[in-house]
């Protein structure tokens, strides 16, 4: 597996107005570049760090310098960033970076009730290989790219082979425009709808009856993130789904629960955050803080990796186009 490239550089001359114009409202322009090129951008003032595929990192650095110069005479808009990336051939570079990332990744075949599961495309192959070779893994990208499905499949395979003793599936119960307090039942019943996609994946892998038996024996546990505080998870496979809806404190809490003999997979889509406006996603923060930490893997998916109905990929690209228009 290729090591991500990293470039550190400073923008000169220092001009706070130009910097604010470059970054955009709530760093919107930086996020736009990240999504188009498949890189991660962080900065402290005028000092920037870009991490990703080597060619994508080079193009991102060049784009940032170009846009910073352009910001001297005008207030940058989203379409200015879009045009700069379009001229750089961002789409082609992003696809090449995705393919390069899978070079050297050994194909992983997972046998479950429904048959044998293999990665479709370079990023899924890389993702499965990373999960098989790392204790903590991040899968970041849009809906329909197989992030959760492949994580659950890997977990079921580990459970079937007795490599772990428990399977713990976790989700933050964030209110997406609806109030939990108005839902009937106790806390477990209130958060159950948020965990339903994880149940669905398990049913497809193991069958409804076996899942029910394993849940009854506490071999499989499906729980809201709040239930993880204070625990240490040894000999377990832990999946944190919809991680874009964690706070920074919740993400740190979850990651520090990991014990000996355990594997963790964190999945999320940074474009679908339900946190209050202005609150930074714990997933985004973790990607920025932990990219250089040994023993962790990061796989970034794009709309080209969508494996659901073909319309899903078109829908994802349409929303991405509007955000970058």
Of 304, 238, 229, 234, the C-alpha closest to 267 is 238
Peptide bond into 276 cis (omega under 30): no
Residue 113, CA distances (Å) to 216, 238, 245, 298 in order: 20, 20, 31, 28
Question: For 253-271, what is the mean pLDDT?
Answer: 90
| CATH code at position 293 | 3.40.50.300
Q: What angle do CA 130, 91, 75 make, to 5 degrees?
A: 115
Last residue of a domain, one of 59, 76, 97: 97
- Are 81 and 189 found together in one domain? no
Domain count, the chain: 2
- Are 149 and 268 found together in one domain? yes
Question: 306 lies in a domain?
Answer: yes
Question: 102 lies in a domain?
Answer: no
Question: 103 lies in a domain?
Answer: no
- Are 246 and 279 found together in one domain? yes
Given a cut of 80, is residue 262 above it in pLDDT?
Answer: yes
- Are 120 and 72 found together in one domain? no
Enclosing domain of residue 166: 108-324
Question: 199 lies in a domain?
Answer: yes
- Are 21 and 93 found together in one domain? yes
Last residue of a domain, one of 69, 97, 125: 97
Tokens of 151: 């994580």
- Are 131 and 37 found together in one domain? no
- Are 205 and 305 found together in one domain? yes
If phi over 0 gives left and psi between -120 and 50 gives alpha, with beta otherwise, what is residue 167? beta
How far apart are alpha carbons 32 and 320 in whole angstroms?
Answer: 9
- Are 126 and 208 found together in one domain? yes
| CATH code at position 58 | 3.30.1370.10
Last residue of a domain, one of 65, 97, 129: 97
Confidence of residue 38 (pLDDT cuts 50, 70, 90): confident
- Are 83 and 127 found together in one domain? no
Q: What is the pLDDT of residues 71-104, one digit of tens each?
A: 997 889 877 887 787 777 665 664 554 455 445 5
Q: What is the pLDDT of residues 207-244, one digit of tens each?
A: 889 999 999 999 998 888 888 888 888 889 999 999 99
Exposed, middle or buried by CB within 10 Å (0-12, 13-18, 19+), for 96?
middle
- What's residue 173's pLDDT? 72
How far apart are alpha carbons 286 and 255 in whole angstroms?
Answer: 10
Dihedral sign, CA of 265, 271, 273, 279? positive
Of 67, 44, 45, 56, the C-alpha closest to 7 is 56
Q: What angle do CA 161, 163, 168 make, to 5 degrees?
A: 105
DSSP secondary structure letter of residue 4: P
- Average pLDDT value for the chain: 82
- Are 167 and 66 found together in one domain? no
DSSP secondary structure letter of residue 103: T
Crossing angle of helices 78-87 and 28-37, in 10° steps, is: 30
Rg of the chain's alpha carbons, rounded to an integer? 20
- Are 151 and 255 found together in one domain? yes
Given a cut of 80, is residue 322 above it in pLDDT?
Answer: no
Question: 202 lies in a domain?
Answer: yes
Cβ 110 vs Cβ 151: under 8 Å: no
- Are 218 and 84 found together in one domain? no
DSSP secondary structure letter of residue 73: T
In a 13 Å sphere around the CA of 218, the CA atoms on its Cβ side amount to 0
- pTM greater than the 0.95 cutoff: no
Q: What is the pLDDT of residues 293-302, one digit of tens each?
A: 877 999 999 8
How far apart are alpha carbons 32 and 57 in whole angstroms?
Answer: 14
């Amino acid at each position: 597996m290729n090591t991500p490239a990293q470039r550190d550089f400073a923008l000169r001359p220092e001009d706070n107005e130009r910097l604010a114009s470059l970054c955009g409202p709530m760093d919107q322009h930086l996020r736009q570049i990240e999504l188009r090129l498949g890189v991660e951008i962080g900065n402290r003032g005028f000092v920037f760090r870009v991490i990703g595929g080597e060619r994508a990192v080079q193009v991102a650095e060049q784009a940032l310098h170009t846009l910073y110069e352009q910001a001297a005479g005008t207030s940058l808009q989203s379409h200015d960033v879009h045009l700069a990336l379009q001229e750089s051939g961002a789409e082609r570079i992003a696809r090449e970076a995705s393919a390069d990332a899978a070079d050297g990744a050994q194909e992983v075949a997972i046998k479950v009730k429904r048959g044998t599961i293999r990665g479709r495309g370079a990023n899924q192959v890389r993702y499965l290989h990373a999960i098989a070779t790392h204790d903590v893994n991040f899968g970041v990208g849009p809906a329909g790219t197989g992030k959760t499905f492949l994580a659950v499949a890997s977990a079921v395979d580990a459970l079937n082979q007795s490599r772990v003793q428990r399977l713990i599936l976790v989700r933050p119960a964030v209110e997406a425009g609806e109030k939990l307090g108005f839902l009937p039942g106790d806390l477990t019943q209130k958060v159950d709808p948020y965990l339903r996609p994880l149940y669905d994946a398990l049913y497809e892998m193991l069958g409804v009856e076996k899942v029910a038996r394993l849940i009854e024996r506490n071999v499989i546990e499906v729980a809201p993130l709040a239930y993880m505080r204070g625990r240490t998870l040894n000999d377990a496979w832990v999946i944190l789904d919809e991680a874009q809806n964690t706070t920074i404190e919740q993400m740190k809490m979850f990651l520090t629960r990991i014990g000996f003999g355990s594997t963790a997979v964190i999945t999320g889509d940074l474009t679908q955050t339900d946190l209050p406006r202005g609150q930074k996603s714990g997933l985004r923060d973790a990607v920025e803080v932990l990219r250089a930490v040994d023993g962790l893997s990061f796989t970034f998916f794009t709309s080209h990796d969508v494996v659901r109905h073909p319309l899903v990929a078109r829908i994802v690209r349409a929303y991405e186009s509007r955000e970058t228009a």
